[in-house]
Amino acid sequence: MEIQLQENLSQQQPNYHKKKESTEIFNINSNNQDNYSQSYQVSTNTDSKEEPRFYDPNKIISLKNVHKTYLLGVEGVTALRGVSVDIKEGEFITILGTSGGGKTTMLNIMGTIDKPTKGDVFICGQKIKSTTDDKFLASLRLTKLGFVFQTFNLIQSLTALENVELPMILRGELSRDTIRERAIDLLTQVGLKERLNHFPNQLSGGEQQRVTISRALSNNPKILLLDEPTGDLDTKSTDYVMKILLDLNIKKGITMVMVTHDVALKNYANRVVRMIDGKVNAIEVIPTEKREENLRLLEEAVQSHTQSQLQKDQQSNGSGVSNHKDLGVRTGVVQQVALKGFVHLNEEIEIQDGQNEGQRQKNGNQQNHQHLQQNGSKTEYRKPGEYPIFQFAKQRKAQEQAIKQFQH
Ligand SMILES: Nc1ncnc2c1ncn2[C@@H]1O[C@H](COP(=O)(O)OP(=O)(O)OP(=O)(O)O)[C@@H](O)[C@H]1O
């Protein structure tokens, strides 16, 4: 399959896509006919009591001195302590920071899944207050926002196709036939044409996340909010998913805000927001050349994955290098490290000869692969996100996010 490139890339968009006629597995085609009309997108008819829906493109998301305190029994847990940030339309923002630093809380507030305790939040020009009507927020989520979480959150009893159809059915604006057509198109764009009728448990993690992305796109959102979307994926699937997301950002201009612990992903962004103790500690601008170079490397990595997959498919008896799933684990060691708070999701842990455990951050996918190949028998890599200690906390968060995402 081939990515069909859009010619009219905006000025701020990197030109790495323009250079080549790339062979790709995905087809993020900005010329695809969207069933939702432009006028519909601009004026979502929601609660008329709310404020006008015009917004400054430099502030598609705007947080001003936002505080959030959760009530836990009689105690208050302060998650955000005066966060201010403006996000431009079409930007790709990553949020990095310490565990418990408030990243997910900030994302949930941007996604109207949570309301601020204090401060001003504007999403597409709409002011969100602690008193804002839940019905209005549900409508805003359904029409303007798409969500992709680490744990995929697909409905297990529905096929890939039905999962993607769901938000469009909830919105209730398109005919049944159009919904089906659009869902097939979205899944085809992410390389899942042959998986339409598979149930989530019949799909790999990477494939499930691609279904989630298609579902998030189904109502043509202006903003995608991504909470560790690659946290449960291996390197290859991470590359595929990032490639899809970046294509959507660059070619379709969808604004993206992505929480991640994976520092290797930070240079795909336009800006990186660092959170510590509920505050924005720093905002780093990624120079355009650096971003473009990283996008180019990603493109190469995806091409290489695709080629080796093709080769693998051709060899009936292909034996290969161990992949992450084949590698053994020593859970105790890693949990100890995790408990000290030294590791985060999607950073990789190295355990050599059962003696030395060390932590390293990924320096690039190519290097990762080489290291695995050279030391495959002796060195083990595991994403901390795969360990129960992380999964427990993440499951709680994921459940809350999943319930609220489609709450009406
Ligand atoms: N629903 C909730 N109820 C009570 N406390 C919460 C809730 N959600 C988050 N918190 C608390 O708010 C603080 C910030 O949590 P948050 O999940 O936003 O941090 P984070 O930076 O995303 O963390 P991590 O990197 O570990 O996922 C933490 O102390 C957390 O325990």
Shared domain for 351 and 237, answered yes or no, is no
Looking at the fold, whether 234 and 345 belong to one and the same domain comes out as no
- Of the three residues 280, 307, 334, the one that is the final residue of a domain is 307
Let me know if residue 4 belongs to a domain: no
pLDDT of residue 255: 97
Q: Answer yes or no: is 336 within a domain.
A: yes
pLDDT of residue 380: 38
* 87 and 171 together in one domain: yes
Examine residue 219 and state whether it is found in any structural domain, yes or no.
yes
- How deeply is 105 buried, as exposed, middle or buried, from its count of CB atoms within 10 A (0-12, 13-18, 19+)? buried
Pair of tokens at residue 206: 């990477």
Q: The domain that contains 207 carries what CATH number?
A: 3.40.50.300
pLDDT tens digits, one per residue of 66-111: 999 998 888 899 999 999 999 999 999 999 999 999 999 999 999 9
367 or 29: which carries more pLDDT confidence? 29
Same domain, residue pair 297 and 346? no
**Is position 331 within any domain?**
yes
Give the number of domains in the chain: 2
State both tokens at 260.
């991640």
The residues, any chain, with a CB within 8 Å of residue 157's CB and separated by 6 or more, are: 199
Residue where a domain stops, chosen among 307, 339, 365: 307
287-319 pLDDT, tens per residue?
Answer: 999 999 999 999 999 999 888 878 877 775 544
Q: Is 176 within a domain?
A: yes
Q: Convert the pLDDT of each residue in 147-156 to its tens digit.
A: 998 777 899 9
Q: Which of 68, 105, 225, 227 to mutate to test the pocket of ligand 1 (most atoms within 8 A of CB)?
A: 105
Within-domain flag for 287: yes
Residue 390 CA, ligand 1 centroid: distance in Å = 13
Question: Which whole-number Å values give the CA distances from 264 to 96, 155, 156, 400, in the listed order?
Answer: 11, 30, 31, 28
**Residue 9: pLDDT band by 50, 70, 90 thresholds?**
very low
Shared-domain flag, residues 300 and 206: yes
Q: pLDDT tens digits for 323-357?
A: 332 222 222 222 222 222 223 333 333 333 232 22
Q: To the nearest 10°, the Cα dihedral for 141, 142, 146, 151?
A: 90
Residue bearing tokens 């903003």: 223
Residue 106 sits in the same domain as residue 217: yes
Asked if 171 contacts 204 with a C-beta cutoff of 8 angstroms, the reply is no
Q: Which tens digits make up the pLDDT trace of 365-376?
A: 333 333 333 333
Q: How far apart are CA 290 and CA 276, in angstroms?
A: 25
Q: Ligand 1 mean position to 84 CA, how many Å?
A: 18
Domain with 338 in it: 323-392
Residue 274 Cα to ligand 1 midpoint, Å, equals: 15
151 lines ligand 1 (CB under 6 A): no
> Residues 181-234: pLDDT tens digits?
999 999 998 999 999 999 999 999 889 999 999 999 999 999 999 999 988 888
Residue 262 forms part of a structural domain: yes
103 CB under 6 A from ligand 1? yes
Of 103, 110, 261, 279, best ligand 1 pocket probe by most atoms within 8 Å of the beta carbon: 103
* Dihedral of alpha carbons 397, 399, 404, 405, sign: positive
Q: Helical H runs in 24-93?
A: 38-42
Give the mean model confidence (pLDDT) for residues 247-267: 94
Within a domain: 303: yes
Is residue 272 pLDDT above 50, yes or no? yes
Q: Which two tokens stand for residue 383?
A: 């994403």
Output the CA 392–ligand 1 centroid distance in Å.
13
ipTM over 0.90: yes
Q: Check if 132 has its Cβ closer than 6 Å to any atom of ligand 1.
A: no
How much is the pLDDT for 80?
Answer: 97
Regarding whether 260 and 113 lie in a shared domain, the answer is yes
Where residue 147 falls (left for φ over 0; alpha for ψ -120 to 50; beta otherwise) is beta
Domain final position from 283, 307, 331: 307
Q: Which residue is closest in CA terms to ligand 1's atom 18?
A: 102
